[in-house]
Structure 1
Amino acid sequence: MLEYTNKNAKSVWNNCLNFIKDNIQEQAFKTWFEPIQAIELTENALYIQVPSQFFYEWLEEHYVKILKVALTKELGAGAKLLYKIQMENAIGNKQPYTDQLPSTQRAPVRTQELDVPVQNKNPELKNPFIIPGIRNVKIESQLNSNYSFDNFLEGDSNRLARSAGLAVSNKPGGTSFNPLLIFGGVGLGKTHLAHAIGVEIKDLYPEKTVLYISAEVFTQQYVDSVRKQTRNDFIYFYQLIDVLIVDDIQFLSGKSGTQDVFFHIFNHLHQNGKQVILTSDKAPVDMQDIEQRLLSRFKWGLSAEIQNPDVDTRIEILKGILYRDGVSMPEEIIEYVAQNVKTNVRELEGAIISLIAQSSFNKREITLELAKQVVDKFVKNVKKEITIDYIQKVVSDYFQMDTETLCSKTRKRHIVQARQLAMFFAKKYTKASLANIGSEIGNRDHATVLHACKTIDNLIETDKQFRKYHDDINKKFSI
């Protein structure tokens, strides 16, 4: 019989983890093993705590062999691994543990509901997308087939998000990217990519039920269900979905009822191996008025940011638009437009279409001079979209320095404060994440941006001269 006097649950499990880490991919280890906690060691049995039923089932299906080898090395041939599944109820309180054994040594299980117990009282499916009175229960995907991976141009700014989207498309619900949260500013392609994932899944898995919906429409449907006293039918409908795509999830901010019902729908889908895809204009860490229990679930999978495309990607995007529309244009004009319209893909497309329209309606040849006139007018008209680049220029001009100096590593006080002001205004006037702001302004991290914003708030309150700097610059963004 083995001696356990010098062993405890944590040390045994840590030794198991060291073995497992050397034998599986790093991303898989982080996703499926780092969240596990060792709870208890009795005789030759190790109890571990996992976050959910779905988590437990995934380990059993994919990693039971390596778990058995690791534990046998530690506790001998008679080693047993037992699970404790930690769940949350409707108000987020911890429910009692449910003990479970591996499939080879299953014991009777104390059953509990893992999400809202919903029964569809009416045998006819209540489909919120169907006009009342029409007996059609087919769930249409609401996808736009014009959005595909073929016309979603890949660049450094979106490579991670696109690659993750392809992985999810090939194996919905079967990767560690669940949920997949795609976030970034306005007009960068989040909605396009979300549709592309759904379209690809429908092509590869026609039997799966895929649904795209905006968070705004989801909220309105929920409000209608409460008014009509069909809330359970509403939840039941969404629990039938195999792949749920929710656009602009940040729209749920401050809507506690909608957040609560989405929480239960999310739990049910995730625990049953269904795929959830979300888009947002902010990273989870920057979302305001979203319940913590929901934010924690958004972080379960992968959060992939889409950033502003660099100039090379913008050039390729323009060439793609011109090819699509059958228009030829000199290279120097394409490069000029790409270098001067930096905000987002949507406005880049708008600028090139405006140039084509000017040429066509006025029967003028597309020249560099015409391009300059059109772009100058277009950029002025979209000044309402304040970018990080524009903020850096305004702050640099005010303090009579160039943007290179603003973003430099120098610790001179007046430059540091100018840089902090740029970060402060970027957080205030753009929807960029803290990480993106830091990356654009001097290649700093999100913690530096957070510190800068707190510093500026304090200086505005305590330093009259600095308050004047702030007010002067702030007025320039209001013009």
Structure 2
Amino acid sequence: EHYVNLLAKTLRRVLGKDAQLEYRIMVDSGNHSNKPLTMDVPAHGYKTYSNNEMDFPLIIHNPVKNPFVIPGLKKMQIDSQLNPIYTFDNFIEGDSNRVARRAGKTVAEKPGSSSFNPLVIYGSVGLGKTHLAQAIGNETKRMMPNKVVLYVSSEKFINQFQDHSRNNAINDFIHFYQLVDVLIIDDVQFFNRAEKSQDAFFAIFNHLHQSGKQLILSSDKPPKDLEGVQERLLSRFRWGLSADLQIPDYETRIEILERKMKNDGLDMPREVVKYLAYNINSNVRELEGALISLLAQSSLNKREIDLDLAKRVLRNFVKTSSKEITIETIQKMVCEYFDVPYDKLLQKTRKREIVQARQITMYLAKAFTKNSLKTIGEHFGGRDHTTVIHSCQTVKDLMDTDSTFRESVVELQQKVQLAAM
């Protein structure tokens, strides 16, 4: 590009005014059974060439030999490798993922310009790391179509590096990745078995970060717990924000199921939705898998979806059996619901929120267990049966006069019933 004028003048001086400069460009097709594709590009009129775009998807066996624009060579367009189904609209926000989701939105709106660079998303399997990472990429492409966004798994990155290493083209590999504006690498924990790939990524990371480009990484654990990854890389991972994804709570799981059903035009009894949400509490992937299995059983057997069918389907996902509800079970449920420390229920405190939580727990224990009033009282710091009677009556009175209180008790009753199924 920088020497075209000089070359043209030199050729004309040596060969005459009719001399022309032509390029012969070879593009590796990645298929060794065919000859490489060649294209002749005349040099005359080079000043009028435009950089029209040519789709050039990122494929492991089709490495980019020259990532730079040459006069007369059409500009490459890097395939983002993003799945369009992953968006922020279908990534349900809850307490378990709020920080990560909102950080992701910030990054998508201002890639490379926020303090969240890199953004490291970590969490266990099936909690939505890939979904969120790709949602950031898709949102960036929607808002800024000219940005070069690339999603790649760490395993594909390693395979590509090894291919280029065998062909003595490591510099081409690094230069290619340095063209990206937003780089998303999934499952960086697998870098632990690829020392040389880490060296290449270190060079890419430094260039992109210093150039104001955005990096988004996902992992099954926080940076401090990544084993086999170079300390200099871990240090850079900590430059930005590390946001974790946790197991979604009961309410979020219900919302996930309802959104999935709405998007797919499905309908299901509310009690079945609650049953699924209560019993599948490991990760989102299993929750959606249980829903798909239930719908398949209903369709194949031409049977309406009900609680009995849901129980049958869930045997393949969790160990389900009729459980005996204990006072301890109810105490834990109420403490989790009201965010009250367990030991506070047993203490003689007069704080309103603690007193109400204790009274509701006694009320539920009387309704759902076979324990005597005396036994229930003993589970609350040795209180006597008259305290239990008073607590149960207080809960009944408040349910008649306070709609918000009644809703809380009813919801807890439903949770206890689901736990007993």
**TM-score, with structure 1 as normaliser:** 0.53
Q: Is the 8 A contact 2:272 2:310 kept in 1?
A: yes
Q: CA deviation at 1:380?
A: 4.8
Equivalent position of 1:229 in the other structure:
168
Q: CA deviation at 1:332?
A: 0.8
Q: 1: CA distance between counterparts of 2:174 and 2:57?
A: 11
Task: Spell out the pairing of 1:258-337 with structure 2 (5 A cutoff).
Answer: 258-337=197-276
Q: CA deviation at 1:132?
A: 4.4
Q: Choose which of 170, 174, 199 in structure 1 pairs with 2:113.
A: 174
Equivalent position of 1:439 in the other structure:
none
Question: In 2 relative to 1, CA 266–128 (structure 1 residues): closer, same or farther, beyond 3 Å?
Answer: farther
Does residue 199 (structure 1) correspond to residue 128 (structure 2)? The answer is: no
Q: Is the 8 A contact 1:254 1:289 kept in 2?
A: yes
Q: Residues 33-65 of structure 1, C-alpha deviation per residue, up to 9 Å, x if partnerless?
A: xxxxxxxxxxxxxxxxxxxxxxxxxxxxxxxxx
Q: 1: CA distance between counterparts of 2:189 and 2:297?
A: 38
Q: Secondary structure at the match of 1:378?
A: coil
Equivalent position of 1:343 in the other structure:
282
Question: In 2 relative to 1, CA 319–255 (structure 1 residues): closer, same or farther, beyond 3 Å?
Answer: same
Q: CA deviation at 1:193?
A: 0.6
Task: Spell out the pairing of 1:99-114 with structure 2 (5 A cutoff).
Answer: none
Q: CA deviation at 1:378?
A: 2.3
Amino acid paired to 1:168: V
Report how many aligned residue pairs link the two structures.
Answer: 271
Q: Residues 19-39 of structure 1, C-alpha deviation per residue, up to 9 Å, x if partnerless?
A: xxxxxxxxxxxxxxxxxxxxx
Equivalent position of 1:19 in the other structure:
none
Equivalent position of 1:140 in the other structure:
79
Task: Spell out the pairing of 1:386-405 with structure 2 (5 A cutoff).
Answer: none
Question: In 2 relative to 1, CA 294–132 (structure 1 residues): closer, same or farther, beyond 3 Å?
Answer: closer
Question: In 2 relative to 1, CA 128–221 (structure 1 residues): closer, same or farther, beyond 3 Å?
Answer: farther
Q: 2: CA distance between counterparts of 1:245 and 1:156?
A: 24
Q: 1: CA distance between counterparts of 2:268 and 2:63?
A: 53
Q: Is the 8 A contact 1:125 1:137 kept in 2?
A: no
Q: 1: CA distance between counterparts of 2:187 and 2:314?
A: 30
Q: Choose which of 186, 189, 194 in structure 1 pairs with 2:128.
A: 189
Moved over 6 A (4+): 122-128, 133-136, 407-410
Q: Choose which of 142, 150, 154 in structure 1 pairs with 2:93.
A: 154
Q: Choose which of 291, 294, 306 in structure 2 pairs with 1:352.
A: 291
Larger displacement relative to structure 2 (345-354 or 369-378): 369-378
Task: Spell out the pairing of 1:243-254 with structure 2 (5 A cutoff).
Answer: 243-254=182-193
Q: Is the 8 A contact 1:180 1:304 kept in 2?
A: yes
Q: Secondary structure at the match of 2:218?
A: strand
Identity percentage over the alignment? 56
Q: Is the 8 A contact 2:57 2:79 kept in 1?
A: no
Q: Residues 241-266 of structure 1, C-alpha deviation per residue, up to 9 Å, x if partnerless?
A: 11000000111013211111101100
Q: CA deviation at 1:377?
A: 2.5
Q: Is the 8 A contact 1:128 1:221 kept in 2?
A: no
Q: Choose which of 181, 184, 189 in structure 2 pairs with 1:242.
A: 181
Question: In 2 relative to 1, CA 133–264 (structure 1 residues): closer, same or farther, beyond 3 Å?
Answer: closer
Q: Residues 423-452 of structure 1, C-alpha deviation per residue, up to 9 Å, x if partnerless?
A: xxxxxxxxxxxxxxxxxxxxxxxxxxxxxx
Q: 2: CA distance between counterparts of 1:303 and 1:285?
A: 10
Q: Is the 8 A contact 1:178 1:300 kept in 2?
A: yes
Higher CA-based Rg: 2
**TM-score, with structure 2 as normaliser:** 0.60
Q: Is the 8 A contact 1:180 1:303 kept in 2?
A: yes
Q: Is the 8 A contact 1:185 1:307 kept in 2?
A: yes
Amino acid paired to 2:92: L
Q: CA deviation at 1:206?
A: 1.1
Question: In 2 relative to 1, CA 288–133 (structure 1 residues): closer, same or farther, beyond 3 Å?
Answer: closer
Runs (5+) with no aligned partner, structure 2: 1-23, 29-55, 65-73, 321-327, 336-340, 345-421
Equivalent position of 1:397 in the other structure:
none
